[in-house]
């Protein structure tokens, strides 16, 4: 390190944290009860956090120069670990009892050995597609049933730089389902890091299993599921990218990939459209203008359908009241309805009423709440005036 040669073996630039306990020599034993809850921020940028409860015995030492040492082990009984997956979705894992947090000196250098579990229920058919390819419907159909799966998140290493790894599993009472074939496939995935990471990402982001590539030629359903998975992931990535570009400029751009099969021609045609919409708020956010269109990524419109216009979707929404409770909206949409109707142009005008309420009585009789609030304010005012008059009389 040419900029700071002293940083090779030493940390001379580290600043000591001022301490109000300098001059004291303290030795304390901390016994933590199992009902105490600790909240640890793992990453402030992404919001990753760990909330745990457990029990343990820690030794806290403070030397006269203000240095603090913490030693001991804290065993976890319950809690959760919340993490952000590529800034797309947040997932909360429940803590598996038996994990530990160990301190060996510096309070910020704790060692983590924690296992968290994310529960998800989904069909095992995509996972077994390579096995059932070309089989009879009676064989492939039994794997369509929903089964429980467990995504294990292993958190190890130092507190400030944890190392994360994943495993897949099934509850013990479900491991024997369908003759144990699904559980056997899960165990194989744990030995294949690339395939495991792909399935973990799909389960965490989409709550479903990503189809096996060999399923492309077996039937349309696995292929459609794969396309749907890819569409959702790409749409999320494009929206996250647009948020970083435009920020708080008041201009919003949304992307949405849509895949479907068009049956209106002589033969079915797979089509994929990228729906792009832009939104801008005007006149102190009272008028919301949204315009967008669909771009053909795969396939094209049939000859009798015509091409998608440059601006296919338009909506104007005006807030009649400042709080947005009453709104007037006009729209024009170009969308694929169903196999029979195909592409349709939908236009309309809507009067929107929006209200938040905690009780149904507030929805149908909202004035009672305001009257009650005014009545309480009036009582508080009268009480204050009375106390003021008494104070003046005493003087």
Query: Are 235 and 331 within one domain?
Result: no
Candidates 46, 58, 112, 115; CA nearest to 81 is 115
Rounded CA gap, 369 and 336, in Å?
A: 45
Query: Are 62 and 133 within one domain?
Result: yes
Query: Are 60 and 139 within one domain?
Result: yes
Q: What is the dihedral of CA 224, 227, 228, 229, to 10 degrees?
A: 130
| Residue 180 is assigned to a structural domain of this protein | yes
What per-residue confidence (pLDDT) applies to 11?
44
- Going by their DSSP bridges, the two strands 251-262 and 287-298 should be labelled as unpaired
Query: Are 167 and 54 within one domain?
Result: yes
Query: Are 86 and 197 within one domain?
Result: yes
Q: Which residues, including other chains, have CB under 8 Å from residue 62's CB and lie 6 or more apart? A: 21, 24, 25, 26, 68, 69
Candidates 301, 328, 305; CA nearest to 315 is 328
Query: Are 51 and 141 within one domain?
Result: yes
| Residue 11 is assigned to a structural domain of this protein | no
What per-residue confidence (pLDDT) applies to 257?
63
Query: Are 239 and 256 within one domain?
Result: no
Domain extent at residue 335: 249-354
- Residues in the chain, overall count: 395
Rounded CA gap, 27 and 126, in Å?
A: 58
Q: Judge whether 244 and 238 are in contact, CB under 8 Å.
A: no
Query: Are 95 and 53 within one domain?
Result: yes
Flag residues of the chain having pLDDT under 70.
Answer: 1-23, 85-88, 132-138, 211-251, 255-271, 273, 294-312, 335-343, 357-395
| Residue 372 is assigned to a structural domain of this protein | yes
Rounded CA gap, 336 and 346, in Å?
A: 10
- Going by their DSSP bridges, the two strands 313-319 and 287-298 should be labelled as antiparallel
Query: Are 224 and 184 within one domain?
Result: yes
Beta strands, E only, 2-110: 26-32, 37-43, 48-62, 68-85, 89-95, 100-105
Rounded CA gap, 187 and 167, in Å?
A: 9
| Residue 361 is assigned to a structural domain of this protein | no
Residues 156-196 pLDDT 10s = 888 778 888 889 999 998 888 888 888 888 898 888 888 88
| Residue 359 is assigned to a structural domain of this protein | no
Query: Are 255 and 243 within one domain?
Result: no
Query: Are 282 and 266 within one domain?
Result: yes
Residue 331: phi and psi, rounded to 5, are -150, 160
What per-residue confidence (pLDDT) applies to 119?
92
| Residue 67 is assigned to a structural domain of this protein | yes
Total domain count, the chain:
3
Query: Are 40 and 79 within one domain?
Result: yes
| Residue 1 is assigned to a structural domain of this protein | no
Domain boundary among 213, 231, 247: 247
What per-residue confidence (pLDDT) applies to 87?
60
What per-residue confidence (pLDDT) applies to 20?
56
Candidates 292, 271, 290; CA nearest to 279 is 290
Place of tokens 């993490």: 83
| Residue 13 is assigned to a structural domain of this protein | no
Q: Which residues, including other chains, have CB under 8 Å from residue 231's CB and lie 6 or more apart? A: 257, 258, 259, 272
What per-residue confidence (pLDDT) applies to 378?
47
């Amino acid at each position: 390190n040419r900029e700071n040669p002293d940083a090779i073996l030493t940390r001379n630039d580290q600043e000591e944290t001022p301490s109000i306990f300098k001059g004291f020599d303290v030795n304390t034993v901390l016994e933590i009860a199992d009902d105490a809850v600790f909240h640890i921020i793992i990453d402030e940028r992404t919001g990753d956090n760990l909330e745990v409860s457990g029990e343990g015995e820690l030794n806290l030492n403070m030397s006269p120069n203000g240095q603090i040492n913490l030693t001991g082990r804290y065993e976890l009984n319950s809690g959760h670990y919340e993490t952000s997956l590529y800034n797309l979705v947040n997932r909360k894992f429940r803590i598996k009892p038996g994990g530990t947090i160990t301190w060996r000196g510096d309070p910020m250098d704790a060692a983590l050995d924690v296992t968290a579990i994310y529960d998800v229920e989904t069909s095992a058919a995509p996972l077994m597609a390579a096995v059932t390819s070309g089989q009879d419907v009676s064989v492939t159909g039994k794997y369509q049933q929903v089964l429980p799966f467990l995504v294990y998140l292993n958190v190890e290493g130092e507190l400030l730089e944890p190392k994360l790894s994943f495993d897949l599993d099934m509850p013990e009472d479900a491991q024997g389902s369908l003759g144990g074939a699904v559980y056997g496939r899960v165990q194989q995935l744990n030995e294949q890091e690339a395939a495991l990471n792909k399935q973990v990402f799909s389960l965490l982001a989409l709550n479903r299993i990503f189809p096996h590539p060999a399923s492309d030629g077996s039937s349309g359903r696995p292929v459609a599921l794969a396309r749907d998975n890819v569409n959702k992931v790409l749409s999320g990535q494009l929206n996250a990218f647009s948020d970083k570009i435009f920020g708080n400029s008041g201009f919003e751009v949304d992307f949405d990939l849509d895949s479907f099969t068009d049956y209106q021609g002589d033969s079915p045609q797979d089509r994929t459209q990228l729906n792009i919409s832009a939104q801008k708020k005007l006149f102190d956010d009272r008028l919301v203008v949204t315009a967008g269109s669909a771009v053909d990524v795969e396939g094209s419109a049939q000859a009798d359908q015509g091409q998608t216009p440059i601006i296919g979707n338009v909506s104007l929404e005006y807030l009649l009241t400042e709080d947005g409770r009453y709104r007037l909206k006009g729209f024009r949409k170009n969308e694929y309805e169903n196999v029979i109707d195909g592409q349709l142009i939908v236009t309309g005008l809507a009067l929107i009423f929006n209200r938040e309420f905690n009780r149904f009585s507030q929805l149908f009789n909202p004035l009672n709440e305001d009257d009650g609030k005014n009545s309480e304010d009036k009582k508080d005012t009268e009480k204050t005036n009375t106390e003021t008059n008494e104070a003046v009389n005493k003087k």
